[in-house]
Amino acid sequence: MGIVDVANLKKSYGEIVAVDDISFSIEKGEIFGFLGPNGAGKTSTINMMIGLSRPTSGQIIIDGIDAIKNIKKVQRIIGIVPDENNLYDEMNGFDNLCFCASLYGISIKEREKRAMELLEQFNLTKAGKRPFKTYSKGMKRKLTIAAGIIHNPKILFLDEPTTGIDIESARQIRELILDLKKQGKTIFITTHYIEEAERICDRIAFIVNGKIVKIGTVTELMESVEREHKIRLQLDRSIKDIKEELENNIENCRVEIPEENSCLVISKERIALSPILQLLDSKGISVYEAKEIKPSLEDVFVKVTGIEASKLKKEKEKVGK
Amino acid sequence: MQTLIAFWNILRKDIENYYLKPPNISWGIIFPLSWTLMQLIRSQGDIGIEELLSGLMAMSVLFGTTSMLAVTITFERRSRSFDRLLIAPISISTLVIAKILGAILFGILNAFVPVIFAAFFINLSGINWGITLAAVILIAITSALLGLLIAVSAKEVFEAQTFSNFFRFPMLFLCGLFIPIDKLPVILKPISFCLPLTYGTDILNGAITGNSIFNAIFNISVMLVFTTLLFYLCLRNIKTKWIL
């Protein structure tokens, strides 16, 4: 049993099924990611886990507590960072943090101390006295994350933590998330950034149309799909004229020519370089570079979900705007 | 203790962020004052300030509580800052009481603006202040709960304002403030007795002028029933409409 156990969770809005019978478990101290396009069911799942939405059916157990029956007990040990920066515009950063801490019954002395510490940790000390509405997007995001951890929760839910912010702020937030993991927090994160999931998550679940289609560590996910070995060769001229000859001479390989002076040798088995090099040499073609092309998580995602990575990127751009 | 800290801070935040803002303070003073003057000018001295006082107080409470609460909650829902309160480890009942208490206090203060104004012109020593205060508090509570009920149904701030007026104005004309209930058309009389403001105004009338339809204990009991009903209706609606 993990610190979070979700079993056969389902959420329907009339005839629309937002989350369709999903099950997963999160281990204590790990960063678990939900990766999927907009409308895949990521936020619907998070909302059911934090008590903002009622499941149609299924079970959610968080730290041994039934989250559907005792959500208020669960809310005491979880921290939530929603996909929108929903702090109070008119209040300054420090007061916003103190107010969020007060909702968890933290005494005035303790919440002021904690707010100061977090402002410092998030590089927002100077901005602490400014109204929240004057913050940049990145600063707003950081303060919203600080508000989510002000009560020192065991488990943190982060819904799209880096969506719509600049590269530097996103990098800082990813570092903060990794720091929180080092402090022993369990983190559930939803994202549609493949690189982000790959970089910070211990385990990832691909979610599409309300269903988890694949779940595992990055390595496990990579190994789960049929892998092709690819070697890119950088040459001194085009090999269009000898492509067929090359394919006939190397066993179980096919050759693609993506650019004029390069070629891709693709095989289901490991590729031995020497016969290729010998053949090319005999034809008077020099090889400047040979590089193995490893599959990325993006390739795995596309293969497993059938969703083109470009679709996710377009969504990313839309949200960013 | 933890619940109390959360409760007090929600209340304090609302008072500081909404009710103590200059536009609201001026609204709280100008609105009752202008209604008092309007009524005095319109009656051309036929109606005394004492007769107007209960109506003006009831109206000030009604507008003071409903206008602010419905708008602020809809605004917080829209910006999703209200979600912070829903996911806090406090019960929905605590949250509802904390949210409406600011509006109740604002409404009570509004109610006494016409009283301060009247004190310059007439002797108010004959008024039963204990009953008057009880009536003001009960009107403020029921009005705040009605405001919350509107906020649960509205998605946009303008919707909250429209819905507020949709029930406030008919209520004003049917509760016996402008037209005595016995002079209302037969078809409207039952509606009048279904409105909490009718009983609140009747308590005020009894405490200020000595003329009332029902006795104070009956009126207070009915107001308490309305309070309980509205409170549970608000809780039920929040649970079904906000936690989907």
Model confidence over B92-142: pLDDT tens digits?
Answer: 889 989 999 999 998 898 888 888 888 887 888 888 899 999 999 999 999
Selection from A137-141, A186-190, A217-221 with the highest mean pLDDT: A186-190
Residue among A293, A296, A292, A295 nearest A198 (CA): A296
User: Right CATH number for A229-293 from 3.30.465.10, 3.30.70.1560, 3.40.50.11810, 1.10.150.120?
Assistant: 3.30.70.1560
Per-residue model confidence as pLDDT tens digits over A161-177: 888 888 888 898 899 89
Q: Does A103 touch chain B (CB under 8 A)?
A: yes
CA dihedral of A309, A219, A154, B95, whole degrees rounded to 10 = 20
Chain B residue closest in CA terms to A70: B89
The C-alpha R_g of chain A, in whole angstroms, comes to 25
Residue A266: which H helix or E strand, with range? strand A262-267
Confidence check: pLDDT of A318 > 60: no
The Cα-based distances of B57 to A194, B61, B118 in angstroms read 61, 6, 11
**B181 near B96, Cβ under 8 Å?**
no
The Cα-based distances of A210 to A11, A161, A196, B30 in angstroms read 9, 20, 21, 54
Intra-chain end-to-end CA distance of chain A, in Å: 41
Half-sphere exposure of A25 (CA within 13 A, CB side): 6
Chain A residue closest in CA terms to B16: A91
N residues, chain B: 244
Per-residue model confidence as pLDDT tens digits over A264-317: 999 888 888 888 898 889 989 999 999 988 778 888 888 888 776 666 666 555
Rounded to the nearest angstrom, the minimum Cα separation between B72 and chain A is: 12
**B144 near B66, Cβ under 8 Å?**
yes
SS3 content of chain B, % helix, strand, coil (to 5): 80, 0, 20
Count of CB pairs separated by less than 8 Å, A with B: 69
Burial B127-158 (b: 16+ CB within 10 A, else e): bbeebbebbbbbbbbbbbbbbbbbbbebeebe
Span B169-173, average pLDDT: 83
CATH 3.30.70.1560 placement within chain A: 229-293
Q: Does B5 touch chain A (CB under 8 A)?
A: yes
Q: Are β-strands A4-13 and A16-26 bridged in parallel, bridged antiparallel, or unpaired? A: antiparallel
Intra-chain end-to-end CA distance of chain B, in Å: 30
Span B197-208, average pLDDT: 90
Instruction: Locate A110 and state its tokens.
Output: 């303790």
Q: Compute the distance between CA of residue A222 and CA of residue A168 in angstroms, rounded to an integer.
A: 28
Q: Does B85 touch chain A (CB under 8 A)?
A: yes
pLDDT band at A125 (very low <50, low <70, confident <90, very high): very high
Residue among A82, A120, A83, A123 nearest A100 (CA): A82
Q: Compute the distance between CA of residue B66 and CA of residue B60 in angstroms, rounded to an integer.
A: 10
Q: What pLDDT is recorded for position A315?
A: 59
Q: What pLDDT is recorded for position A72?
A: 92
Strand order in the sheet with A262-267: A253-256, A262-267, A229-235, A287-293
Chain B interface, best mutation among A77, A98, A102, by max B CB count within 10 A: A102
Q: Compute the distance between CA of residue A48 and CA of residue A54 in angstroms, rounded to an integer.
A: 6
Confidence check: pLDDT of A10 > 50: yes
CATH class of A4-224: alpha beta
Rounded to the nearest angstrom, the minimum Cα separation between B197 and chain A is: 34
Per-residue model confidence as pLDDT tens digits over A37-69: 888 899 999 999 999 999 999 999 999 999 999
Q: What pLDDT is recorded for position B112?
A: 87
Q: Give residue A235's Cα distance to chain centre.
A: 37
Confidence check: pLDDT of A185 > 90: yes
Rounded to the nearest angstrom, the minimum Cα separation between A180 and chain B is: 21
pLDDT top residue among B37 and A289: A289
Confidence check: pLDDT of A321 > 50: no
Span A259-266, average pLDDT: 89
Asked if B1 lies within 8 A of A103 by C-beta distance, the reply is: no
Q: Which of B4, B6, B17 sits opposite A103 (nearest CB)?
A: B6
Angle between helices B196-208 and B49-78 (to 10 degrees): 150
Instruction: Locate B17 and state its tokens.
Output: 């962020």
Q: What pLDDT is recorded for position A223?
A: 78
Instruction: Locate A265 and state its tokens.
Output: 């040798």
ipTM: 0.83
The Cα-based distances of A90 to A93, A125, B120, B190 in angstroms read 10, 18, 38, 45
Confidence check: pLDDT of A203 > 90: yes
Chain B residues whose beta carbon lies within 8 Å of the beta carbon of residue A80? 87
Confidence check: pLDDT of A31 > 90: yes
Instruction: Locate B85 and state its tokens.
Output: 């309160």
CATH 3.40.50.300 placement within chain A: 4-224
Q: What pLDDT is recorded for position B46?
A: 62
**A188 near A200, Cβ under 8 Å?**
no
Chain A interface, best mutation among B16, B81, B236, B239, by max A CB count within 10 A: B81
Cα Dmax for chain A: 81
Asked if B79 lies within 8 A of A86 by C-beta distance, the reply is: yes
